[in-house]
Amino acid sequence: MAEAIVPSQDLNKAAKPAKGEETSLITGSEAIAVACKLADVDVITAYPIRPYDTVMQYVAKLNANGEMDCEYIVAESEHSQFEIVKHASAVGARVFCGSSGVGWMYAMECLTVTPSLRIPMVAMVGNRALDDPGAFGVEHNDALAVRDLGWQLVWVDNPQEALDTALIAYRVAEDRRVFLPCAISCDGAFLTHSQALVKIPSKEKVDAFLPRYNRGDLLLHPDNPITVAPQANEDWLMEIRRQTAAAMERSAGVIREAYADFERIFGRKYGNPFFEEYMTDDADVVLVGMGTLSNPVRVAIRQMREEGKKVGFVRVRWFRPFAAEELAKSLSRFKAVGVIDRDFSLGSPFHSGVLATEVRTALYPSATRPPVLGFICGLGGREVTLPDVRKMSEKVYQAAAGKSQPGTQWIGLRE
């Protein structure tokens, strides 16, 4: 395995790397690819679809340059792509895969069985619309399609977090207490194609953080003769589901451990792993959202603060497992909550997005339940603008004052 070398054309010469680190100007996709290199992933399968394909291109480049040593298999479809890594993982290989939009949906048959088989696959979803012809802008419905199936789902909002979260994802997924797949969602274009300065940790630190994948008693190997995936009918299925549920229940604790170790080893602090709070200490109302819309939201909040409006922001990172109790505890502090969904759940309660529905559910057992507004915004890659955020904040303020009915509103729509 070669030293961690960043291609010179990508180096930002002006940035001085910290000790043991190098700094590189790379996209979110490339950051994930670099994490794969650092994690010394054994098997990667690829099939192109925008915007995920930027990961496979960069992995191919790292391989071609001799910087990375993995089996790199170009499959003939997303379906085969996910099937191949599933089997590779069963025989003990650390694997990576990914897709976007309808490509992810085409792999659905493989995605559904992966959690039950307790395959700790790490996948990247370059979030993409589903798939009104030619639409490849960001929407979160692709990754959310597996939210009920036993996949751990995490959203990141910058390339550094993408790299770090990919390392954390391997650590959590491959923990024997968990053994569940994890999909890292990166907003198409906004994150997958945007370059930022990323601190690339040393291989030594990564090795200290991330033990080798040990499939243990589930290793499919002649020395450990087992049959994997025999017929599972009505006499077995409930028990299998319950086992997978128990693993997901354990995942939250393992995520906490991993973030604590990450901070100790790499010195980068993420605070609460499950969601990040911005200017919430004195906030009257908050917005909640996932992914890169955090950027305009934070900027708009700073602007509004200058006008005396105390708006805060809660960015949900881990959608599965969903930190319901913690999030409810946090959100019940505010006078009103506005959830920004870059997704939709047509016909759902209040015709909301998926996140809004989950937030409402999480808040239900709370003694204090602020009004929850749902916003559908930024679909199909449409920009979430500063005026959009201000508009949403105003509506949340109105709800706090009892002036508007909680419900779902479409923001940034031509009407």
Partner 1 sequence: MGRLYAVEIVYRGIFQKNLAKNISRAIVLAAHKEGKPGISFGRYGDSPERNGIPAKAFAIVATDDTTLEEGMAKYEPQEVDVSICVDDTLFKGVESWAWYGLQPINKLVKPNGTLIVTSLQDPETLANMAHAKDAPYKLAVVKGTASFSGLWVYKDDHSDVRILGAIARVLPELFSLESVQETIREDSNDELKATSAKRAYERLQTYTVKPGQGNQEKPYQFQMPKWTEMREGIAIPGIPVGEKITDPVDGKAGGFRAARNPTFKKWATRTMRPVVDFDKCIKCTLCWLACPDSVFDVTPEGFYDANMEACCGCGVCEAICPEPQCITMIEETHFHDNASQWEAWRKDHDGYEAWVKTTISGRPERSHGFRFRGQYEQQVPEMLTIARQG
Residues at the contact surface with partner 1, assessed by CB under 8 A: 116-119, 179, 217-218, 224-236, 238-240, 242-243, 247
Output the smallest distance, CB 224 to partner 1, in A: 8
Nearer to partner 1, 232 or 413 (CB): 232
Q: Tokens 């003990």 — which residue?
A: 92
Q: Six-digit token pair at 339?
A: 């959830």
Output the smallest distance, CB 96 to partner 1, in A: 20
Nearer to partner 1, 118 or 310 (CB): 118
The partner residues of 187 in beta bridges, in order of sequence, read 127
- CB distance 64 to 30 below 8 Å: no
Dihedral over Cα of 331, 350, 382, 55: its sign:
positive
Nearer to partner 1, 291 or 321 (CB): 321
Nearer to partner 1, 8 or 227 (CB): 227
The angle subtended at Cα 186 by Cα 396 and Cα 414, nearest 5°, is 45
Q: How far is CA 375 from the centre of its chain?
A: 20
Output the smallest distance, CB 222 to partner 1, in A: 9
Output the smallest distance, CB 109 to partner 1, in A: 15
Output the smallest distance, CB 3 to partner 1, in A: 36
Nearer to partner 1, 81 or 244 (CB): 244
C-alpha separations of 318 from 126, 276, 315 in Å: 16, 10, 9
Dihedral over Cα of 382, 321, 324, 209: its sign:
negative
Output the smallest distance, CB 182 to partner 1, in A: 16
Output the smallest distance, CB 88 to partner 1, in A: 15
Rounded to a whole number of angstroms, the CA Rg of the chain reads 21
Nearer to partner 1, 232 or 299 (CB): 232
Nearer to partner 1, 218 or 311 (CB): 218
The angle subtended at Cα 256 by Cα 251 and Cα 257, nearest 5°, is 95
Say which residues have a Cβ less than 8 Å from residue 229's Cβ, sequence separation at least 6: 113, 117
How far is the C-alpha of 372 from the C-alpha of 354, rounded, in Å? 13
